[in-house]
Every structure is written in C-alpha cells, then in structure tokens.
Amino acid sequence: MLHRIYESTNAPVRIYWFNDRIEIHSPGGPYGNVTIENFAKPGITDYRNPNIADTLKTFGFIQAFGRGIATAERAMADNGNPKPEFEVNQSAVVCILRGKL
C-alpha cells in the first residue's frame, strides 16, 4: 500500500503463494530518488504516498522509513531462507521470497 501507484490503474497489490516461493506484485515502478538501477540500495528512499506513509508510521505499522528491505533480508536470513529477489520495471515491482534451499 505504501509504495504502490494509484494513478492510471486500479490494480491491487497481489500476493501469490507457490510451493517454493511467495511473490508480491505491486503496481508502480520506482519513484522519485529511487530508480531501477539503485532499487534496494541502502539510503535511497522516496515516498509516492507521503500521507499514507505518515499514517502507517503513526499507527505503528512502520518502525522506520527506508529499512523495509533490510528488515526483510534479515528476517529471511534468520529463518534460513535466501535473500528476497526483486524484479523492477517502470510499471511494477515484484518481490520474490523463496523457501529454504
């Protein structure tokens, strides 16, 4: 919800559960300071929906801005899973969470 695009599409965020992985498909590619080339690099952040971002932080759904990918990587590693994979283009971001090897 925080990063998805709301202009020109009504497509929802979709979550697909497979035997070996989970895929999260989010409409809207990189935004602002975030590009396809620097996506997921530490310290590079921007917010397409600042009002939603503020609301999510206020209600405790976000601990700190710009730390979500690092948190997911740490949680996956702690569980013995590979790092999250990202497929990024101008119209969508797909996050792939694979099962243990």
CB atoms within 10 A of CB 44: 15
For the 14-98 domain, the top CATH level (class) is alpha beta
User: How buried is residue 55: exposed, middle or buried, by Cβ count under 10 Å (0-12/13-18/19+)?
Assistant: middle
Q: What is the mean pLDDT of the chain?
A: 88
Residue-level pLDDT at 22: 98
Q: Can you give the pTM of this predicted structure?
A: 0.81
Q: Tens of pLDDT along 13-55?
A: 899 999 999 999 988 888 889 999 999 998 888 888 888 888 8
Q: Is the pLDDT of residue 64 over 80?
A: no
Residue-level pLDDT at 57: 85
Give the confidence band of 5 by pLDDT, cuts at 50, 70, 90.
low
Q: Tens of pLDDT along 10-19?
A: 788 899 999 9
Q: What is the 3-state secondary structure (H, E, C) of the chain?
A: CCCCCCCCCCCCCEEEECCCEEEEEEECCCCCCCCCCCCCCCCCCCCCCHHHHHHHHHCCCCCCCCCHHHHHHHHHHHCCCCCCEEEECCCEEEEEEECCC
